[in-house]
Structure 1
Amino acid sequence: MTLELGPDDRRMMLRYAGVCRLCGVSLPPGADAIYERASRTVRCVQCMSSSGDAHQPGIAGASARREYERRSTARDARIRAAHPRIGGLILALSEEPQSTRAWERGAIGEELLAERLRDLPDSFRVLHDRRIPGTRANIDHLVVGPGGVWVVDAKRYVGQRPSLDVEGGILRPRVESLRIGGRDRTKLIEGVRGQVALVVGTIDDSAVPVTGALCFLDGDWPLIGGSFRVNEIEVLWPRLLVKRMIDSATVPIDVARTVALLAARFPHA
């Protein structure tokens, strides 16, 4: 994908701060941007063109699936090179490493959740698999609707039950932790909290609610109840997630502008 420059446009390092005319993101001095001489305005390079290509929803699980395929292909080539005669047999009789299969499971989880998010009304917009600049991490799903912004991390722990563990609360400080199959997985909560902080900083509008959610697919959820919050992050399953989004309180939010801001800050992974 290439930038579409008009005859009077110039790509440059900005001498002064500006604001992208397409997505509204702030551009500090020294930012790489496009200066449009005709209108004396600027646009960020993430806004690939005036057609808004950078604002397309993206493909759920794309980066995780690419990483799985890269690792799987590398393993295949490595084993066949080391064992020219029986490499195919070794591959047929052995399983891929857990670290490789984890990427495939992650991709499937994101893809399944993306299908469920299709049930949202037309008033919602969804961005999938968005890269966090300067890192190798990504945000699985960003959902923008009348009730604000949802930052969603999809996880697939087949047959395992997420649960809330609480210590203290009266004489000692209350400490909440997430457990899955009895193991402490609170680091997953902290990951979502970090993503929420980035989104809040990008929107920079206290009137827009931002909610973090850890959504487990194929988990062992109880028939009654089951969902909970850990350190302000919702922990729940896909169907309930969609219901919560739809039922969230309506606020005066400019959905299109908010989507543009997030798409510019978090490009396709």
Structure 2
Amino acid sequence: MTEQHTGWDDLAIRCPGSAASAQAAQARAAAPVRSVLARLMGVHSDERAWRLGAAGEKRVGRQLERLMKDDPRWRCLHAIPVGRRGADIHHFVIGPGGVFTLNAKHHPGARLWVGGDTFMVNGVRQPYVRNSRHEADRVSSLLSSAVGHPIAVTGLVVPVGAQDVRIKKPPKDDAVVPRRQLWRWLSHQPQALPVAIIDTLFEQARRSATWTGT
């Protein structure tokens, strides 16, 4: 749900995981019996993937709520629709430490290993770092275009629910920050933006037109 303004919707009222939850509901509606059977039997399905994704985003959202409560200079947006092909940014965060996109990856009980751009989930390589970097670059381009000057954006991959996360070598331009460490990691970033700039960027970011080109 979004609040409508003249020519744009206010994204500030969107909840963590709302886009993924809507996709899960759509998958259940399309195949209700299959969805129920898959859940009872523990079988992987599109509905389950969207449902787990939504749960992970909600858990990350609680960390961000804590961050904003402790330091109101931090601002967050969730489930931002980007472009016209159904893509969304899980979390957009802006504050004294800079501008960040957060991509929640919910892998209950999994073992994760990170070495630079290599991200392994139970021994299987995943393109999470590459995708996070692409997302941050896209957000940087859109936000820079909207405000008229370059805006640097850092991409974060945020593992949720994993049994073990081993970071042998951090990615070069992005970061992998487990959910339980997220609040502390963000709050300890060096000062990069004054409050006036934070407010200006947030006001632009909350407008749907910034991300959809409308």
Please give the range of the TM-score, normalised by the shorter of the 2 chains.
0.7 to 0.9
Question: 1:133 maps to which residue?
Answer: 83
Instruction: Map 1:162-177 onto structure 2 (within 5 A).
Output: 162-165=112-115, 176-177=117-118
Aligned residues: 200
Deviations 1:126-159 (A, max 9, x none): 1000011122111000011011111100011111
Counterpart contact for 1:155–1:217, Cα < 8 Å: yes
Deviations 1:170-209 (A, max 9, x none): xxxxxx4111111111x12121111101121133244x54
Q: Classify 1:238/1:78 alpha carbon distance in 2 versus 1 (closer, same or farther; 3 Å).
A: closer
Counterpart contact for 2:177–2:185, Cα < 8 Å: no
Could you tell me the TM-score, scaled by structure 2's length?
A: 0.81
Instruction: Map 1:39-188 onto structure 2 (within 5 A).
Output: 45-46=7-8, 48=9, 54-76=10-32, 97-120=44-67, 121-165=71-115, 176-185=117-126, 187-188=127-128
Paired letter, 1:132: V
More helix by share: 2
Question: 1:8 maps to which residue?
Answer: none
The reply to whether residue 241 of structure 1 matches residue 182 of structure 2 is yes
Structure-2 separation of matches of 1:146 and 1:153: 20
Structure-2 separation of matches of 1:111 and 1:164: 24
- Bigger drift between 93-102 and 241-250 goes to 93-102
The percentage of counterpart residues that share the same residue type is: 19
Residue 3 of structure 1, CA deviation:
5.8
- Name stretches of at least 5 consecutive residues in structure 2 with no aligned partner: none
Q: Classify 1:4/1:128 alpha carbon distance in 2 versus 1 (closer, same or farther; 3 Å).
A: closer
Deviations 1:56-98 (A, max 9, x none): 241111111111111112212689xxxxxxxx9x789655652
Structure-1 separation of matches of 2:198 and 2:123: 40
Deviations 1:23-67 (A, max 9, x none): xxxxxxxxxxxxxxxxxxxxxx22x4xxxxx15241111111111
Structure-2 separation of matches of 1:140 and 1:119: 17
Structure-1 separation of matches of 2:172 and 2:162: 21
Counterpart contact for 1:126–1:143, Cα < 8 Å: yes
RMSD: 2.8
Question: 1:202 maps to which residue?
Answer: 142
Partner of 2:114: helix, strand, or coil? strand
Partner of 1:119: helix, strand, or coil? helix
Could you tell me the TM-score, scaled by structure 1's length?
A: 0.66
- Name stretches of at least 5 consecutive residues in structure 1 with no aligned partner: 6-44, 49-53, 80-87, 167-175
